[in-house]
Each structure stands twice: as C-alpha cells, then as structure tokens.
Amino acid sequence: MHIPSPSTTWRQRLFMPFKPQPMPPEDSILLRIGVQVLVCIGIMATDTAASTVHSAWAIPLSLMGGFWSWRQRHRRNTPAKIGIAFGMIAVLAVFLSRLVGQAGDSRILLAELLIQVQILHSFDLPRRKDLGYSAVIGVILVGVAATVSETTLFGGWLLLFMAIALPVLILDYRSRLGLKTFKRQALSIPPVQVGKVLLAVMTVGLIIFALLPRLPGYQLRTLPVSAAIDFQGKFDAQQIVNPGYGQGDNASWDGTGEGGQDLQGDIIFDDQFYYGFNQTINQNLRGVLKPEIVMRVRSQAPGFWRVLAFDEYTGQGWKMSRNQESETLKRPSWSYRFVIPQIGQRSRTKEVIQTYSIAAPFPNLIPALSQAREVYFPTREIARDPEGGFRSPVQLQEGLTYSVISDVSYRDRNRLRQASRKYPQYIRKHYLQIPPEIAPQVQEQTQTLLANANHSPISAYEKALYLAQNLKQTYALQPDLPTLDPQADLVNTFLFKSKGGYPDHFSTTLTIMLRSIGIPARLVTGFGEGQFNAFTGLYEVKNIDAYALTEVYIPQYGWFTFDPIPGHDLIPPSVDDDYTFSVLKSFWSWVAGWLPSPMVGGLTAIFAFIGTSLAQALGFFTSSWQGWISGLFVLSGLAVLVWLTPQGWRFWRYQRRIANLPPMERLYQQTLNLLADWGMPKYHHETPFEYTRRINRTATNSIATLVSEISTTYVAWRYGQQNSNLHHIQQQFQTLRKQSRLQQQKK
C-alpha cells in the first residue's frame, strides 16, 4: 500500500490512487488437507443419505484441484479463473434445466450443484478465506445429508466430520495469528485434549437435541417426491397387486373382470407381506411375519397409516363390495399434486403433512393418514376407491418417495357424544351388513355387555369406546388358535367358543358387534405408527406393524378409528397429543425400561406435576397484559439467577478449598486471589519471589511492601519451617485489602 509522505497535503491525499494490498497466500499444508477431508466427508455423507455415487468422480477431482491450487497459490492464474467462471455458468444452466423438469423435491439437485461448484472452486484456493468457503460447502453438504438421511448411518459421518472439524478450526485460528502450521510441531494440542473437546461437544449437543422442541415442519410446499415414473399401458383403477397374495399357483382370480383379487381355495400364508392388503381378505390364515422395515415416515404427527377399508363381511374375512366404483385421479404435467375431492363435515381438523419413503417391495397401495386432501405422487395417475384408499399404477418399490397432506379430525368427545344418530341412506346401505344367521346372537351379546356397564353409554361414540375396551379386557390373544372349519363363522367362534383369537379378529368382532346394534362401522387395514427414531426424526414402520382396526361413522363428523386389540392404545395416536418434546419422551421411555416400577411411578408423578405447573404458569403469563409483564419480570429474574449461579459456584468452591488449608497457606492464597481480582494474577511458573519482583515493578510502594512482607513470611513458613506472627500478617493482609479498595476507587 502506498504511504503518503508527511509533506503531502490533504488534497493530494484525497485524490491519491488507492492500491490495495493483496492478501498473502495460505501456506499451511495441514489446513489445506483438513479442508479437503471435510469436503470429502460431506460428499460421502450425501452419497450415503441420498444413495448417489458422486464420490467416485467428485472426490478425485476435488483432491486434484486442491493439489493444483497449492502449486499455483503464488500466481494470478487468470486463465484458470476465466475457465472456472464459464464452468460455473454451465453447471448453473444444467441445474436450472433439470430443476424445470423436476416437479418434486429439489434437495438432491441442489446438493449436486453444490458439489459441482466445489469441484470448480477447488482449482482456485490461494488464500485462507478461499479455504473457508470450501469448509462451509462441506458443512452445507453434511446438513443436506442430515435432511435427506433416513437411517442412523449418517451419525457416523457426522462424528467423523466433527472430529476433523475441530483440528481444522484450530489450524485456521493459528493461521489468522500468523503462526506457521506446516511444520511438524505446529499442532501442539494433544489428541487427548481434542478428544475431550469432541466428547464435550457431543454431550452438550445430545442434551440440546433431546430438549429441543419439535415444532411442525414442512412450512414450504415443495414436498419430497421421487422422480417421475412413466407407466406404459392403461391404468386399471380396480386392480390391487400384492406380491404375496393373488400371484401364486394356489390362488385364483374371481373371473369377474374387475381387476381385483378374490382369493379362493387354500391360500398359503406369506411371511413377508401382510394378508390384509387385497380386495378380499381371508382371516382364517395362520402364520407369523418376519420383521422387515417396509417404509419410513416423516410426519408432523403420528397416526394409523391407513391403506384399505372393507365394507362386506364374508363370515371368515372381508371384501370390498364396490371396488368397481374406484375412480382415477389425474395431476397436471407441471406438478406432482393430486387434489382429492372432499366431503364437508363439522369436525375440527388439523393439517398434517407426511412423507413416505418405501424401504421394501410393497403392493400398489398408497398408505396415508385418514382424510387426505392432497397427494404428491410421481405417476401421472392414481386411483381412489369408495372406502378412501389410494392405488398406484405400479407396485411401490424400494426408494420411492411421496408426500401426503391430510386434514386429520380432532376427537372432541363432548361433541361426538351429542352427535345425531340419523345416518345417511348410503351409510346404512353399505355399513350395517351382517350375516342373518349370527345377527341375533351377536346383538344379544352386545346388548348384554352394554347393560353391564356402570354408566350405560348412550351415544354411538361412547358405545364404541366401551365395547372396544371390553373386548380388550374380556377376550384374550390366542396365537395358537386352530384353523376354523369352512362352515364356521369367525365372529361367532370368537365370542362364544374360543373366547379370543388373532389381533385382527378383535377388530372384526368389534365391527360386527357395532353393526348388530345399528352403528355403521367398517374394517380398515394399515400400519401402526412404528418405532420413532429420535436421530432421524422418522417413524420406522415394519411389516409386523400392519393390522386391522375398526372405523365408526359419526354423522356430520366422519369416520373415527377404534383399536380393540389387547396391548394397543384404545385410540390410535393422533393430533390430540402434543409431540413438541417427542425426543425427550422417547428418551424417558428408554430410561424407564431399566428402572424399578415404584421409582418409575414416582418420577412420572414428579414430571407430571412439573409439566402441569409449567402449563399453568404459561397459561397465566400469556392470558393478559398483566401476565405478560409478570412473565418479563420472572424471565429477568431467571436471567440474573443464571448469570449469578456460576459465580456463586466458583465462590463456594474457593471458600471450601481454602477452609481446609493451614492458616498461613490460607492467608497467602487469599492474598493471591485479591491481587488476581485487581488484575495482577500469579502465573504457575513463577516462584513467590519472582511474583513479588513483578509486583514491585507495577504496583505502588505501599502495596508492594505489603505483598513482599506477606510473601517472605509465607516462604519462611512453607520452606524454612519457621514460625510466623500470624496475627501481624493478618493485619498486613487487611491493610492490603484496604489499599486495593482505595486504588480501585481512584480508578
């Protein structure tokens, strides 16, 4: 930079051309290697999460660019910069062209663009800030991988990234200070210290992760969807393709030409696919599924992932009597959104957005929460059956992703109790069917159970609740139930002979019992919420989570699900519950499994009291302007308390430590503490006399004399075993304290 001479006038200085001083190139080899490793980890993490193969070409090119930049760091490299600029324009054009044809999730495209930009940028890394840009790209790639990842494998890449990032930050800081970092002794921090810092960061991060509220996501409407699927041929909206049933030698078609399966004869149980995903289901099958993850779901609220519903009871199973009325829905070419026609109802609803990622071969059925309003699916057409189930033209394969927006109804028990019993004609026509040979017995048994209730339920909703609970308590699961005779009725056998059955038999029995007393009901099959993975934020749903429930129609409010299966909640989880702190709840459930029951009960009561108290306090603070003012005062007090607590802790530890010291040692330590507060601390490598000499050079004569006398007496006692006049030294210490206060006041 040109420095003007003292004789230069201010006018000459004003118009003097400014020549900026170029930043020096970064010579640290270790810093460059660390940044390249961070970028490589980010690329590999993205590949792991998104099942891509960018590492095969991106990592070698990035390393090649980093090596070239190291060799050329002292040169201007103007032709290379021009080439990089044209390359970035080209990759941006390719990205925009691909984005136009990609109507769904664009996160993978953005990650690919970022990787391509990093490859070009790696050929121009002369300075430290250029390396900082690459490090930031590595952080962004890891963040993209975190949002896309559906398994905990991403956690390994995150830990590795953190372990490398800590030394890189240290190297970057040393470079800012001008310290050389390419020598052997440059990184002087021991690996043990780095490990301690990493452990501390992980611990604090996990605590924050557990306590962090899970607020509803999906604020943007660009929902995740797989790439478009081209279906060749005519879509048969009536056809259901279940790989485990209706495809083998022991099953036959019904010959109706409707396109659905009507399984007849001896059907072999398939241990991979749930039998309830067909047009007709046979509940006389016996077998156990082999656990396998079927799909992973990201949802604003858990629930019963609904697949199919059935209206006609066949004696040993169910069928869809109106499958031929299934309708085809089409979407526009520029969007993946299917708009689902809605039926008006009075029930209060909440929007819940879900994203499903298929993890294993699945029928051409589309699971979704009830009352779906919009479906984002990659095919040009989908179908909806009369019972509210959705179908795809193709079988769902591993890797397929789609999203659904549902308006899930709240269960307002008071309103549902008061609902009318006047059912529409089409509801009475299709959802009160029951075989006449079992109707009298089932109706009598149902009326007997209701009569035995302490408070006889009146409304249809209360009756459904009571009967579902009664089935749980009165009848038992029987995994070894023998196969029924061809003439036997499943519900009749369940109620009067076997006194129980398979899980799905409970739902069938509840459905028929409700129908016997004039309450419309149907059987619905789907998946329970599955196992929530706190690290991925996804519900991992297995094939063993598939079962059947009962849906009851409440006039003007729609269909509501009840679960009579023992061991399940009476009402499936829905939007009525608060899942803001779901990770903390999951962690507590895991801890509670290792604790004795009395301790769990006591801690649960304490937590419930704390939660209730916090809820009441929050309600008070937000109810009026007086509450808001009170809340501000409370928050201010808490902030002061949080600020004072560490200081009080340090003071308590200091008082406890010196209380156990000999009187002379205690007096000397108090002197050192007083001088440290005054801005003159004693370093660990200094002897008492070296410290005294330093005090003599900086403090006043009176203070230096007092410190010298206290130090000399301490050394004589500590190392010379000489008795000291403790009372005199205490007086000198009090004098020193007064003098330090006077000095502080003068300042």
- The pLDDT tens digits of the residues spanning 138-183 come to 999 988 888 777 777 777 888 888 888 888 888 888 788 776 654 4
Judge whether 448 lies within some domain: no
Look at residues 179, 211, 243 and tell me which one is the last residue of a structural domain.
211
Same domain, residue pair 57 and 202: yes
Same domain, residue pair 428 and 529: yes
Q: Is 411 left (phi over 0), alpha (psi -120 to 50) or beta?
A: beta
523-534 confidence digits (pLDDT tens): 999 999 998 887
10, pLDDT greater than 50? no
Judge whether 646 lies within some domain: no
Look at residues 211, 244, 279 and tell me which one is the last residue of a structural domain.
211
* Rounded Cα distance, 609 and 591, in Å: 19
The answer to whether the CB of 442 falls within 8 A of the CB of 492 is yes
Task: Quickly list DSSP for 579-611.
Answer: -TTHHHHHHHHHHHTTS-HHHHHHHHHHHHHHH
Same domain, residue pair 314 and 232: yes
Same domain, residue pair 70 and 46: yes
Judge whether 636 lies within some domain: no
Q: By CB neighbour count within 10 A (0-12 exposed, 13-18 middle, 19+ buried), where does 555 fall?
A: middle
620, pLDDT greater than 60? yes
Query: What confidence category does residue 313 fall into, taking pLDDT thresholds of 50, 70 and 90?
Result: very high
Vertex 225: Cα angle to 224 and 231 (nearest 5): 175
* Rounded Cα distance, 488 and 6, in Å: 112
Same domain, residue pair 542 and 599: no
Same domain, residue pair 205 and 287: no
Judge whether 469 lies within some domain: no
Long-range interactions of 742-745: CB distance < 8 A, separation 24+: 743/678, 743/700, 743/703, 744/678
Report, as an integer, the average pLDDT of 513-518: 93
Nearest to 556 by CA among 297, 339, 346: 346
Same domain, residue pair 197 and 263: no
Judge whether 475 lies within some domain: no
Specify the number of domains making up the chain. Answer: 4
* Rounded Cα distance, 720 and 714, in Å: 9
Judge whether 16 lies within some domain: no
Same domain, residue pair 692 and 714: yes
Q: Is 667 left (phi over 0), alpha (psi -120 to 50) or beta?
A: alpha
Look at residues 211, 242, 273 and tell me which one is the last residue of a structural domain.
211
Same domain, residue pair 236 and 176: no
- 723 or 402, greater pLDDT: 402
Judge whether 736 lies within some domain: yes
Tokens 């604003």 sit on residue: 300
436-494 confidence digits (pLDDT tens): 999 999 999 999 888 887 776 788 899 999 999 999 988 988 888 888 888 889 999 99
Same domain, residue pair 338 and 416: yes
248, pLDDT greater than 80? no
The answer to whether the CB of 285 falls within 8 A of the CB of 275 is yes
49 lies in which domain range? 29-211
With the C-alpha atoms ordered 171, 172, 174, 178, is the resulting torsion angle positive or negative? positive
Query: What confidence category does residue 189 fall into, taking pLDDT thresholds of 50, 70 and 90?
Result: low
DSSP secondary structure code for residue 340 in this structure: P
End-to-end CA distance of the chain: 40
Same domain, residue pair 235 and 376: yes
- 621 or 25, greater pLDDT: 25
Judge whether 533 lies within some domain: yes
70-121 confidence digits (pLDDT tens): 888 888 888 888 898 899 999 888 888 887 766 556 778 888 889 999 999 8
Same domain, residue pair 406 and 365: yes
Tokens 């094939």 sit on residue: 543
